[in-house]
Structure 1
């Protein structure tokens, strides 16, 4: 697999505090890489360093072998697409218009037919055809997340960066989002996704990077990374790691049984 991102010794500071510390990581085309870790660990900040939206105090991020700072905004927009946690739109655009925004970086470079095909595919993949004429501002959190993902997919970039794309979604749509991520990787794209659900990450990611206190404490295949000892050390909770029917690790918190006596 070719390398999309090379991250070397990256440190990021926000609000006077170091959030990401001396991170080394490679991201490859053809894979889904999941960033997991407790709240405040630095996952979203690390993703922001990849997007170019979070300044790097020390170290370097390279995209396609070139330092990120040497990329123009237009070239970045045609190379990497970003889904942020906050799906905000300031004006009451319709869902269709929001999805169409994903084609903005390609204005003058593609035909109307190519744009229409990309938009139609994104709408189908995210199951939002019934929402297209509704104002984006009137949607539920989950509906906004799916519409925003459709915009990202319509952008048709080689790199896709997703920050907690399943946070507001029901069980079915959580699975569908990660199935989409897998299909993007199967087509040769590099996908980085921030997730909280360790079992979902184990089922759908090729590799998992655990982030704790701004550092990557482990990176590798899910079965190698998600050991009970490591999860307990990072999250501060005892867990069982069980084999799911599909063979992937299933991470379940240990719960003390509480029996209620009745007269």
Structure 2
């Protein structure tokens, strides 16, 4: 039997006051999966991402990385497998892009020559389209460029899994799609909290839908994003329609005019 790259079993988490945030969450992530974690505000999406990445410890259940308890891994070892781009990351505005990306090599300090480290930083800049901006200060970048720099820093870690917490926040619609296209082409396992449902079908291979701290749907994107689930959790309609100009299907999310139409249909 193949061991999942990342596995969560019966995860639970509560606030210091004992208020439950997540209950009984179980997931198996395979190599190459792109998992989108979605749900309404307050559903526990960011908390789940923090537990899966080892940034927080669960109050119940466990997370295993490569078959080992992630909580038992030294932080330096975990950082060579897992990279996290958080929604509240605030790089020093004065640091140059290349120097910022080079921070991703810290977990590998002393393991390679200086020239090998530099080559990996250059590769991360190239893969994210930032070579021309390498000497710019982070504070001079646009929102989309800054997000690409954060992903480049994560790539410099040479992770097996890339975690993204709402990476498209504050980006215009075109930049959102471009960023996720870039991530999808990285040949990495990706776990991303996404707020914009329109981005999910073309990006995710797997979807986890959270509501009130529980997992209400989990599986391949077309199955987890059923019309019934989307209506129940988000109060909107999902329609799959043929593209008018291309040979592919498009997914449309629409606010219904009534509260009952299609409620009982998959």
Q: Taking structure 1 as the reference length, what is the TM-score of the superposition?
A: 0.87
The aligned residue for residue 222 of structure 1 is 221
Q: 2:128, 2:170 → 1: CA distance?
A: 14
Which whole-Å deviations, capped at 9, do the CAs of 1:72-122 have from their partners, x for residues lacking one? 010011011111011212462112211110111111112333322321222
Q: 1:248 to 1:212 in 2, by over 3 A?
A: farther
Give the alignment partner of residue 20 of structure 1, picking from 16, 19, 22.
Answer: 22
Q: Does residue 50 of structure 2 align to residue 51 of structure 1?
A: no
In the TM superposition, residue 206 of structure 1 has moved relative to its aligned partner by: 1.1
Q: How many residues align?
A: 253
Q: Does residue 203 of structure 2 align to residue 204 of structure 1?
A: yes
In the TM superposition, residue 33 of structure 1 has moved relative to its aligned partner by: 1.1
Q: Does residue 258 of structure 2 align to residue 254 of structure 1?
A: no
Q: Does residue 186 of structure 2 align to residue 184 of structure 1?
A: yes
In the TM superposition, residue 55 of structure 1 has moved relative to its aligned partner by: 2.2
Give the alignment partner of residue 38 of structure 1, picking from 22, 31, 40.
Answer: 40
Could you tell which deviates more after superposition, 244-253 or 76-85? 244-253
Contact 1:12 1:54 in 2 (8 A): no
Q: 1:111, 1:92 → 2: CA distance?
A: 27
Residue correspondence of structure 1 range 113-262 to structure 2 within 5 A: 113-185=115-187, 189-244=188-243, 245=246, 247-248=248-249, 250-254=251-255
Could you tell which deviates more after superposition, 168-177 or 50-59? 168-177
- Three-state SS of the structure 2 residue aligned to 1:93 is coil
Which whole-Å deviations, capped at 9, do the CAs of 1:25-52 have from their partners, x for residues lacking one? 1111121111111121111110000121
Q: 1:64, 1:227 → 2: CA distance?
A: 31
- Three-state SS of the structure 1 residue aligned to 2:95 is coil
In the TM superposition, residue 243 of structure 1 has moved relative to its aligned partner by: 4.6
5+ residue gaps, structure 2, are: 258-266
- How large is the RMSD of aligned CA atoms in angstroms? 2.1
Contact 2:82 2:160 in 1 (8 A): yes
Q: 1:152, 1:238 → 2: CA distance?
A: 36
Contact 2:144 2:171 in 1 (8 A): yes
- Three-state SS of the structure 2 residue aligned to 1:134 is coil
Give the alignment partner of residue 75 of structure 1, picking from 74, 77, 81.
Answer: 77
Could you tell which deviates more after superposition, 200-209 or 124-133? 124-133
The aligned residue for residue 66 of structure 2 is 64
Could you tell which deviates more after superposition, 31-40 or 111-120? 111-120
- Three-state SS of the structure 1 residue aligned to 2:202 is helix
5+ residue gaps, structure 1, are: 257-263
Q: Taking structure 2 as the reference length, what is the TM-score of the superposition?
A: 0.86
In the TM superposition, residue 246 of structure 1 has moved relative to its aligned partner by: 5.8
